[in-house]
Chains A and B, each alone.
Chain A
Amino acid sequence: MKTIKIEKESWVQGLEKLQDRYRLFGPMADKDSYEFKELNSGDTPVLEHGKQGNTRLSVKSVIYPQSQTMFTYTLDESKDDHHIMKEVELNGKPRAVFGVRPCDAASFRLVQRNFDTPEYKDPFWINPYEETTFVGIACDEPSKTCFCTSVGCGPYNEEGLDLLLVNESKDGNDFFARILTKKGDDLATAAGWLTNANADVDAAADVDFESRKRDAEKKITAKVSIDQLKEKKTTDLFSADFWDQVGFSCLNCGTCTYSCPTCWCFDIQDEVKGCQGKRMRNWDSCMYTLFTLEGSGHNPRSNKVQRVRQRFMHKLKYYVDKYDAGVQCVGCGRCIQLCPVNIDIREVCETMNTYTPAGEEA
């Protein structure tokens, strides 16, 4: 693992150089917040958002857009290939995403368990994921809503990243960068960040990394316990009496799902205009009525309390049991920040983790 220093000027020049080889993405201002966008030549991604902490929506859309055409077809019977689905060619150029927070980076590893399994391979997710280089930025100023350290992640976590940037100082323009993988090394080389002048900065930077990491972790005061979830009986949690109160205020608005880096559900739709059709997939949410509506008209999750329960049971129990790899949450806190009625996954998690069915108290 190499640590280098990237000076402001060389950062901007490097981004420009990368434009030829990569499609670049990074956080850009969008109205009163920041969102991941494709960068045009001349754009410099904004890596620090002050009191806003992370981008408003997660980075997932870079790999897994809200709406994506998978196939196209024609209904025009005079054409030889009518009614035949044609897979949409993905833009082959590799991507590089800048300013990925460690929680967001970890989220890709987590959703990979869904899109990339021994039995099923989803090319629309796997291909872009594999060709993307992830450039992270460590969090020196975590938000009040962050709880990554409780769910196996952390403000300096390197999982899922190819390169981790650390701001030299609070107001400084320069970065230290840890090169974590070959992809990261290739990108740094292509950007010209590995020239003699700034390569192999003293190990002092490394020491700094460790103490800064500890400082950052200390700033995360929100703690959530997840240790008992696995032991709980699924049926006990499912039929617990607290769901009525947890679900009462929920508007089933799906904001939590859409903003969450680890929510992966989608819905497939055909849209036809004239004779031209496309089959696309759109993000979906277990909070929506249509999510489980069956062709017969029957809906096994017909009320909102059942839908709220599904969201939390999936993230904090079914996923835990199925993969034995912790919870389906990286602690980014977006759902907490954006929920219009203040439903807080940390509180629900605590309730689930400490739940004992009535009559079983010691």
Chain B
Amino acid sequence: MLEYTDKIRALSSQLLKEEKVDMVIGFRKGRRPMSNEPYMAKHPDEVKNLVWDSNCGINLTTYLTDRKEKIAVVAKGCDSRNITTHIIENKIKRDQLVILGVPCTGMIDRRKINNIVDFEINDVVEQGDTIVVKGETTETSFVKERALQKNCLVCTHRNPVLYDELIAPKVPELTDVDRYEDVRRVETMSINDKWHHFEALLSNCIRCYACRNACPLCYCPTCFVDESRPQWVGKGDDPVDTKTFHFLRAYHCAGRCTDCGSCERACPMGINMREFTTKLEKDCQELFGWQAGLSLEERPPLDSFNSKDPDAFVK
């Protein structure tokens, strides 16, 4: 990953020196293992703080919303698809951006690693395809695949789809993955079982809304859960309100979600709310043959009219 970091720094430094951009948005090394921090470099001498490794799971598109500056942004496959969606939805302009595309081989799931090892982690280092987890007195290693976020294991767009510079050669895409195994398991449940399943899934949600805030799609100035006139959702701890939040948020992301996994990564309680968004992704795929964020030319199916759209649901 050192080559990635070097290339990002070199390009960033050049762009800032030549004043082609006002800032570079990337990651700096985190103080805690497995969590790099989104970072903006505004001066060439800050560029040395930029890094790249498999702990850059937060989607940086979130940091672009409504910005007015000229920005270089480091973007892996999913980020680039969300940037595309942002451009379509007028949240940023294409000509404001210099996209430094990063071919990605997946991001480490820190929760998974924490649950596998039985010691407190001091440091996690990558050596090619091996992840070495170090504790105070002991260490252990895994193949990277075992350590990946769930969404990365089934990602079919690891290479950026929109970029100005590519910081490394493209990586092979995964082709024989089943993106919807989890969704199908829920689809086949009875209505009652589904309800219980969702109840258990969300049982420890504290409604902090970290999932929403980490999501690049959730940029509404006032989210429906925060509206008070009218008030759509109760603000207490009633589980019905919690479900309402999750179901509605998922629908707001339908046809736009790229399964970047930022929501799940950000959740302090380890809730897999991606189950909802992935279901809608599957529906969009089946009904409209649509995958989000692949092209600047086409609008997402739910915000455009097409006489060829299937209409089974209104008949």
Contacts of B122 in A (CB 8 A): 144
**How close is B62's CB to chain A, nearest CB, in angstroms?**
7
Q: What count of chain A residues pass the 8 Å CB interface test? A: 45
Contact A259 B268 (CB under 8 A): yes
Contact B270 A33 (CB under 8 A): yes
- Which B222-241 residues sit within 8 Å CB-CB of chain A? 222, 226, 234-237
CB < 8 Å: which of A31, A66, A251, A338 contacts B213?
Answer: A251
Contact B237 A251 (CB under 8 A): no
**How close is A257's CB to chain B, nearest CB, in angstroms?**
8
Residue B171 CB within 8 A of the other chain: no
- Which A277-299 residues sit within 8 Å CB-CB of chain B? 280, 282, 285, 288-290
Contacts of B118 in A (CB 8 A): 50-51
Q: How far is the CA of A267 from the CA of B210 in the complex (A)?
A: 19
Contacts of B265 in A (CB 8 A): 340
Give the most central of A30, A65, A288, A341: most B CB within 10 Å.
A341
Contact B35 A342 (CB under 8 A): yes
Contact A342 B37 (CB under 8 A): yes
Residue B209 CB within 8 A of the other chain: yes
Contact A32 B235 (CB under 8 A): no
Residue A95 CB within 8 A of the other chain: no
Once A51-B118, A143-B120, A280-B236 are accepted as A-B contacts, the answer to whether A56 and B268 lie under 8 Å apart by CB is yes
**How close is B240's CB to chain A, nearest CB, in angstroms?**
11
CB < 8 Å: which of B40, B117, B266 contacts A251?
Answer: B266
**B122 nearest in chain A by CB position:** A144
Residue A162 CB within 8 A of the other chain: no
- Which B93-143 residues sit within 8 Å CB-CB of chain A? 111, 114-115, 117-122
Q: How far is the CA of A33 from the CA of B38 in the complex (A)?
A: 27
Interface residues on B, range: 35 or more
Residue A46 CB within 8 A of the other chain: no
**How close is A37's CB to chain B, nearest CB, in angstroms?**
11
Q: How far is the CA of A248 from the CA of B236 in the complex (A)?
A: 30
- Which B1-43 residues sit within 8 Å CB-CB of chain A? 30-32, 35-40
Q: How far is the CA of A31 from the CA of B206 in the complex (A)?
A: 14
Contacts of B206 in A (CB 8 A): 57, 66, 258
Q: How far is the CA of A329 from the CA of B235 in the complex (A)?
A: 27
Contact A254 B209 (CB under 8 A): yes
Contact B38 A249 (CB under 8 A): yes
Contacts of A33 in B (CB 8 A): 269-270
Contact A67 B31 (CB under 8 A): no
Contact B204 A341 (CB under 8 A): no
Q: How far is the CA of A145 from the CA of B120 in the complex (A)?
A: 10
CB < 8 Å: which of A251, A253, A282, A285 contacts B236?
Answer: A282
CB < 8 Å: which of A57, A254, A288, A343 contacts B37?
Answer: A343
**How close is A219's CB to chain B, nearest CB, in angstroms?**
10
CB < 8 Å: which of B204, B234, B268 contacts A255?
Answer: B268
Contacts of B35 in A (CB 8 A): 340-342
Residues of A in contact with B (beta carbons under 8 Å apart): 30-33, 35, 50-51, 53, 56-57, 65-67, 143-145, 245, 248-249, 251-255, 258-259, 267, 269, 271, 280, 282, 285, 288-290, 336-338, 340-344, 346-347
12 pairs, A vs B, C-beta closer than 8 Å? A33-B270, A51-B117, A66-B206, A248-B38, A248-B39, A249-B63, A253-B213, A259-B268, A269-B234, A269-B236, A340-B214, A340-B265
